[in-house]
Chain A
Amino acid sequence: MRRTLPAAITLITGLIVILKDIFISPAFNKLVQDYLVRSVTLSTATAVALGGISLIRVHTRRVARKREGWYNSVILIFGFFLLMVLGIFLQGGHNSATYQWFYQNTAVAGSSTVFSLLCFYIGSAAYRAFRARSMEAGALLISASLVMLGSTSIGAAITPMLPKAKVWIMDYFNTPTIRGVSLGVALGAFAQGARNLFGIERGYMAE
């Protein structure tokens, strides 16, 4: 029962969702809207609560055991409960000015900071990738240099051939390769879905 029931639920709900996209049936659509979408919302909400509990449990133990950097966990726990209380009790909830002030000046600012680090990481990754240590790396170096120069105004100033070379590389090498990989990905994702749907692969059930 422990194996069969989840597999049966997966198969039935999966088939309902697929059939909904094939056959025109208002009754079917209503069933999906009424039960499946609500079920997903409900299970997601439960999972968010479980996630929050996991987070607080880990950081409370860090504080209790005074592990290295425990004071960071104090800030996290404080921020977690502060925003939760503000979101629940302030008028307007998470849209209230006070909540938004805290959110914009902590979470959004922090998120943007990490995102901005990407430009430095791209630089360091490109430096390593462009060292011509092999034939493949050499080809990468040449094609990347042509594409980069062809994308800038200085490239066009050096020779009008550079922007054309860039377009040629992107259209005749880059695009077909990406399309080829995407084709494989689409079929692979389909096979993965079918394996899960028919219970052939049950990794999500810890099997």
Chain B
Amino acid sequence: MTPFMKTISDAIKPALSSWLYTSGNFGLTSTIFLIIYVAALLIMVNRARSAGSIPKVRRIAGLDAVDEVVGRATEMGRPVLYSPGIGGLEAADTLASFNVLGHVAKLIAKYDARLIVCNRTPTVQPVTESVVRAAYFEVGKPDAYREDDVRFLTSDQFGYAAGVVGIMNREGVSALVMFGLFYAESLVFAEAGNQAGAIQVAATSSTSQTPFFIVACDYCLIGEEIYVAGAYLGQDRVRLATIVVQDWGKQFTLAVIILGTLVSTFVSVTGGKGNFIIDLLKLY
């Protein structure tokens, strides 16, 4: 840390250390970013509500394919299998998955196809039940909802994988939709689905599992694309507005990385010490 930054750090630390965490959890810098991010989010939401202009979100082939998947299942007269992954309600991927499940369930109900939902997490089971039931109600076909088709299999990771593969083969599913948090079972699903001839759409934020989905599935969403699924499928202005803020965050972070790299290079070349960008981020 440069002497100037150290002086500032030494001055503010004693004043704040009794009521703000200095390490672990959130620091002061993170808290400031959090406030700015939330403020930007709320501003954009207000703008969207007051019919202000919202940038267009690019086309995402994996999400467009969801409609194709349901159409195929309807034509073939075979079910669609949906997996919300193995994450719990605390996982952002699982929360994003409910929006996609709602969309898929509405299409399934509309076209009189069949949807099988397999759950691994007990807390996710009642939520998926209510999401699917609500979709059938919304389409006006509450009697078509089959409660046995939204199933809890097991909490065991590979027991769940075995259960999904078994259902896939026994029920002869035409399509496999996987949106959520996946770990090692991702390839078991994707390969078994591929061998069963099912069209597959997958999305997860897990960077270690995305390559498996890319090689084994017909359509795959990468990284944060899973989080825009709800807004994209629903084409809801307010939710699309929050995606814009997400992109601003990325642009800002990228700018900080580039600036930090340039300053580090400059300091290294000139033989100086410290990097004020890093010092600033570590101030508290």
Decide if B202 is an interface residue (CB 8 Å cutoff): no
Whether A125 contacts B227 by the Cβ 8 Å rule is no
Decide if A68 is an interface residue (CB 8 Å cutoff): yes
Whether B242 contacts A200 by the Cβ 8 Å rule is yes
Which of B25, B45, B190 is close to A21, meaning CB atoms less than 8 Å apart?
B25
Interface range for B: 35 or more
Q: Give Cα A204 to B95, complex, Å.
A: 6
Given contacts A55-B152, A110-B158, contact A178 B207 (CB under 8 A): yes
Decide if B71 is an interface residue (CB 8 Å cutoff): no
Which of A21, A125, A193 is close to B92, meaning CB atoms less than 8 Å apart?
A193
**CB contacts between A and B, total, < 8 Å:** 190
Instruction: List residues 118-132 of chain B with CB under 8 A from any CB of chain A.
Output: 119, 122-123, 125-127, 129-131
Secondary structure type dominating chain B contacts: helix
Write the B28-39 contact mask toward A (1 if CB under 8 angstroms, else 0): 000100100110
Chain A residue numbers with a CB within 8 Å of B224 are 184-185, 187-189
For chain A, the count of residues having a C-beta within 8 Å of the partner chain is: 60
Whether A47 contacts B45 by the Cβ 8 Å rule is no
Chain B residue numbers with a CB within 8 Å of A43 are 123
Decide if A5 is an interface residue (CB 8 Å cutoff): no
Decide if A171 is an interface residue (CB 8 Å cutoff): no
7 contacts between A and B (CB under 8 A): A18-B26, A54-B150, A124-B191, A181-B222, A182-B207, A187-B249, A188-B246
- A residues touching B (Cβ–Cβ < 8 Å)? 18, 21-25, 43-44, 47-48, 50-52, 54-55, 57-58, 61, 68-69, 107, 110-115, 117-118, 121-122, 124-126, 128-129, 178, 181-185, 187-196, 198, 200-201, 203-207
- B residues touching A (Cβ–Cβ < 8 Å)? 18-21, 25-26, 31, 34, 37-38, 41-42, 45, 89, 92-93, 95-99, 101-102, 119, 122-123, 125-127, 129-131, 133-135, 147-148, 150-159, 161-162, 170, 184, 187-188, 190-192, 194-195, 205, 207, 210, 212, 214-216, 222-224, 226-228, 230-231, 238-239, 242-243, 245-246, 249-250, 253
